[in-house]
A and B are shown apart, each in its own frame.
Chain A
């Protein structure tokens, strides 16, 4: 028995002496929370990071570093030379990608380190920046939490109302590698402060294709079946404008919109029949209208407008030869053979496809007032 204890003790002692290879205490680590990628005037890659600063007497809550580098891993080496601890990218919250970067293909390959190193997180959201990234990095608001947290909250809440998308690295990977869909990421802009624009659409190679504003994004999300709830405002035509305050604006909430997509292949081109069921509740009406009496009319007016907006959106998509909706998935699922033939250039095939949209609106509630 005592021999066994001795053996156990030796094993423990050996393990103890040889252990701790991977231990890096938190205070010896620098954690970038936001990573920024941009190109300067000479088309050189600039990598930015924002890291939190800990300490009682330090006023500034975060620290920013910008370096020139050819890859993220190389950039990390540079960051290390500027910082107190070892750089570890496991807490990165978002990756800001400048428009100039997005205009070149191959930028997605830069993110390889996130996928290759299993210890890295795939949760950072990818955000496209309309303009230079440096504007955001150097931003210091006294009355706001630090940028990484601010952006986190912003994207989180807005994406839950379908006004943008929350595309993390995993999603981006999915959309880049899936041939039947093209990537969508959220887009921000600097308008005196951080301003959420909507979404950026990328093509198969990840190159910038188009931008969508808030309303367009909502429709895109409805078409993607990714919209739980969304707030929209339409202008109802025919309201006489007696006062500048009286407009034909009608606001409503779309909840649980249901989208059905029928796929077929005829005459050498794909046909998609999209049918959207939109149950809405009115939230605001700044003009007088007898909703109860004219319910059917109102539903029709809204449906018509929604339809037009969606068709406009689809036209935009088709023109850019991209497929953010993921119609390619439907094509593969239902017209496998035909899809396989055009798989490699699906965007082009889709631009020639015939897409019909019909919208059906039902007003399920108009609030406690008449």
Chain B
């Protein structure tokens, strides 16, 4: 396991830290009860008071060999790296003399060392996995960066696998996630703003943005929204998205959540802002438009003609997934005349055997499908396969044989399911499901008119949505032709010379024509 926090260069506290120390002492005088005491036993007692029932808190007392001072090291078992503490902190302090020219510094082989003198600071840093060194007689404690909580190896993101893209996904450590993005954009213009949110467990939230491209207004808006949050803790990025969304009542996702560093980097380059929530493996990309949910990172690495075709297919699939069951109901219950005669006779033949009205039939099938899908998501992979068998054989075959549901309905549902599977974004798929049911209700009441009015409301809703103050419906409405190059189709890369307007980039030029002309020499 890689541990980024482990100091890899031997460092000594120098005069710089002394200056910091003295200024910290001045501040410490002003804070009274909160500040630590000079006496070690008192500090240790205070620690026990602060964390009364915390068996995982370790306090190790020892003598510093170099100076002979009494000291204590406190850390949480599991949150800190045991190896680093043993080899880089305890061993040098207990057994090494070090050089003479350092008076107050310690010979420690850990990265940053921070002086703290208030208990609230200590609490925050001990929870973040740092170990705290108390020294008898000093009015400060030292936070040693020995962070090393349980981590998962970097792997392929499960929800957004790709064929050509990178096979690294974000993990649960914010710092690592930032590093992964930095690997794509090694440029000083990649700026990072750190914010904290959450009362019970301050969650570190990092805003990554291209400094010379991102619109300051959008950035300000995002920052304001995050800093105004008042919550216990943010467990996951999804929570953050819901808390800062423009319209939380909408079924549509207004931010992109992704687990792919390459996707995040590519969005950054378009001028959008990436929000990394520590402890969550998905990052939030804002502002996002409706069409962004139909793009996948693979689009840019496959041939443009093919990926344009696939994009169009996705939009078609979106409409099929929303409308098909509704249309089926409308056609069977209201407008039979639209069905060509031969198909009509076939459907009539099947319908004659089924006891339920089309709406009930459709609801039964759709709910069965949704349940199967949900079951498939949660079940472990080996059992999950049985769902396929159950779905395929029991529902597909038996239900028709038994005359509960007709064949055409099964085809419609299967078609809808396939259509919704090709949408690359999980959040969009989820909203499609909800809308589909609403369309089915509308269709069962008013037939095609119901569907059309439903579409009116849907369109009206989509175009009035905003994501961080930028219109969600762009580039369709407001109409921005130059953004169409990367919305419904993907034009060749050398045609995408400007960043999308919908990202509100302040510097829109992307790259020159990088394609060799002529004979390619």
Contacts and interface: CB of A to CB of B under 8 A. Distances in A.
B336 A31 contact: yes
A54 B341 contact: no
A113 B188 CA distance: 78
B344 A91 contact: yes
B342 interface: yes
B359 to A, nearest CB: 9
A119 interface: yes
**Which 6 pairs between the two chains have the least Cβ-Cβ distance?**
A54-B352, A19-B445, A90-B337, A23-B333, A54-B348, A26-B332
A26 B337 contact: no
Interface in A34-78: 52, 54-56
Contacts of A22: 334, 446-447
Contacts of B334: 22-24
Nearest to A146: B345
Contact of A52 (B333, B337, B348): B348
Contacts of B445: 15-16, 19-20, 23
A292 interface: no
B74 to A, nearest CB: 47
19 contacts: A1-B249, A15-B445, A19-B446, A20-B445, A23-B444, A23-B445, A25-B333, A25-B358, A26-B332, A26-B333, A26-B351, A27-B351, A33-B341, A54-B348, A54-B352, A55-B352, A55-B353, A90-B336, A148-B341
Contacts of A29: 336
A152 interface: yes
Contacts of A16: 441, 445
A55 B406 CA distance: 12
A93 B337 contact: no
Given A1-B249, A149-B342, A149-B345, 7 more contacts: A16-B445, A19-B444, A22-B447, A24-B333, A26-B358, A56-B353, A121-B337
A131 to B, nearest CB: 26
Nearest to A58: B352
A369 interface: no
B357 interface: yes
A290 B11 CA distance: 109
Contacts of B121: none
Contacts of A149: 341-342, 345
A241 interface: no
A52 B351 contact: no
Contacts of A6: none
A148 B349 CA distance: 16
Contacts of B347: 26
A119 B348 contact: no
Contact of A26 (B249, B336, B353, B444): B336
A5 interface: yes
A24 B330 CA distance: 10
Q: Which of B337, B342, B447 has the most CB of A within 10 A?
A: B337
Contact of B332 (A20, A25, A54): A25
Q: Which of A19, A25, A90 has the most CB of B within 10 A?
A: A25
Interface string B435-448: 00000010011110
Interface string B15-35: 000000000000000000000
Contacts of A93: 341
Contacts of B446: 19, 22
A125 B477 CA distance: 45
A20 B444 contact: yes
Q: Which of A23, A27, A90, A152 has the most CB of B within 10 A?
A: A23
A51 to B, nearest CB: 10
Given A20-B445, A56-B353, A26 B348 contact: yes
Nearest to A119: B337
Nearest to B446: A19
Interface in A1-33: 1, 5, 15-16, 19-20, 22-27, 29, 31, 33
A40 B408 CA distance: 43
Contacts of A19: 444-446
Contacts of A27: 348, 351-352, 354
A119 B447 CA distance: 14
Contact of B337 (A23, A91, A148): A91
Nearest to A17: B445
B351 A54 contact: yes
Nearest to B350: A54
Contacts of A25: 332-333, 357-358
Interface in B292-341: 332-334, 336-337, 341
A5 B250 CA distance: 12
A140 B345 CA distance: 18
A5 B348 CA distance: 40
Contacts of B441: 16
A197 B332 CA distance: 37
A27 to B, nearest CB: 5
Contacts of B358: 25-26
Contact of A91 (B341, B351, B354, B447): B341
Contacts of A88: 336
A24 B358 CA distance: 10
Contacts of B353: 55-56
Contacts of B444: 19-20, 23
A148 B342 CA distance: 11
A120 B92 CA distance: 95
A224 to B, nearest CB: 27
Contacts of B348: 26-27, 31, 52, 54
Interface in B243-279: 249
A5 B337 contact: no
A91 B352 CA distance: 17
A152 B344 CA distance: 14
A31 B344 CA distance: 10
A93 B372 CA distance: 42
Contacts of A33: 341
A53 to B, nearest CB: 9
Contacts of A148: 341
A23 B447 contact: yes
Interface string A134-161: 0000000000000011001000000000
A250 to B, nearest CB: 38
B329 to A, nearest CB: 9
B341 A5 contact: no
Contacts of B344: 31, 91
